[in-house]
Amino acid sequence: MTVETGGATTVAPQDSELIQLLTPEGERIENPDYPLGDVDLKGMYRDMVLVRRIDTEAIALQRQGELGIWASLLGQEAAQIGSGRALSPRDMAFPSYREHGVAWCRGLDPVRLLELFRGVTSGAWDPEEHKFHLYTIVIGDQTLHATGYAMGIQRDTAEDEAVIVYFGDGATSQGDVSEAFAWASVYNTPVVFFCQNNQYAISAPQERQSRVPLYHRSRGFGFPGVRVDGNDVLACYAVTKQALRAAHEGQGPTLIEAFTYRMGAHTTTDDPTRYRLASELEAWRLRDPIERVRSYLARSGQANAAFFEQIEAEAAELGARIRAACRELPDPPPMAVFDHVYTGANAILDAERADYEAYLDGFEEAAR
Residues 136, 197, 198, 209: which binds other proteins (CB under 8 A)? 136
Residues 23, 31, 56, 121: which binds other proteins (CB under 8 A)? 121
Subset of 228-247 contacting other proteins (CB under 8 A): none
CB 166 within 8 A of CB 95: yes
Stretch that binds other proteins, among 28-36, 76-84, 139-147, 213-221 (CB under 8 A): 139-147
Pairing of strands 225-229, 254-259: parallel
Exposed/middle/buried for residue 30 (C-beta within 10 Å: 0-12, 13-18, 19+): exposed
Pairing of strands 163-168, 92-94: parallel
- C-alpha distances (whole Å) from 366 to each of 22, 168, 312, 334, 363 are 69, 53, 55, 18, 5
Closer by beta carbon to other proteins, 4 or else 156: 156
**278: contact with other proteins by CB under 8 A:** no
**348: contact with other proteins by CB under 8 A:** yes
Upper half-sphere CA count for residue 190 (Cβ side, 13 Å): 28
Which residues make beta-bridge pairs with 165? Answer: 94, 193
Q: How far is the CB of 151 from other proteins (least distance, A)?
A: 6
Distance of CA 271 to the CA centre of its chain: 21
Residues 211, 274, 340, 368: which binds other proteins (CB under 8 A)? 340
Identify which of 222, 248, 225, 244 has the alpha carbon closest to the alpha carbon of residue 158.
Answer: 248
Subset of 142-201 contacting other proteins (CB under 8 A): 143-153, 155-156, 175-176, 179-180, 182-183, 186
**218: contact with other proteins by CB under 8 A:** no
Is the Cα dihedral 283, 289, 292, 294 positive or negative?
negative
Residues 64, 300, 304, 346: which binds other proteins (CB under 8 A)? 346
**124: contact with other proteins by CB under 8 A:** yes
Q: Where are the alpha helices (DSSP H) in the chain?
A: 41-63, 77-86, 100-105, 110-118, 127-130, 141-155, 175-187, 233-248, 278-285, 289-299, 305-328, 347-367
Stretch that binds other proteins, among 128-136, 238-246, 269-277, 303-311 (CB under 8 A): 128-136
- Distance of alpha carbon 223 from alpha carbon 205, whole angstroms: 26
Per-residue contact flags (x/-) with other proteins for residues 300 to 339, judged by CB under 8 A: ---------------------------------------x
**111: contact with other proteins by CB under 8 A:** no
Stretch that binds other proteins, among 10-18, 21-29, 46-54, 138-146 (CB under 8 A): 138-146
Q: How far is the CB of 160 from other proteins (least distance, A)?
A: 15
Contact residues: other proteins, CB under 8 A: 121-127, 133-134, 136, 138, 141, 143-153, 155-156, 175-176, 179-180, 182-183, 186, 339-344, 346-349, 351
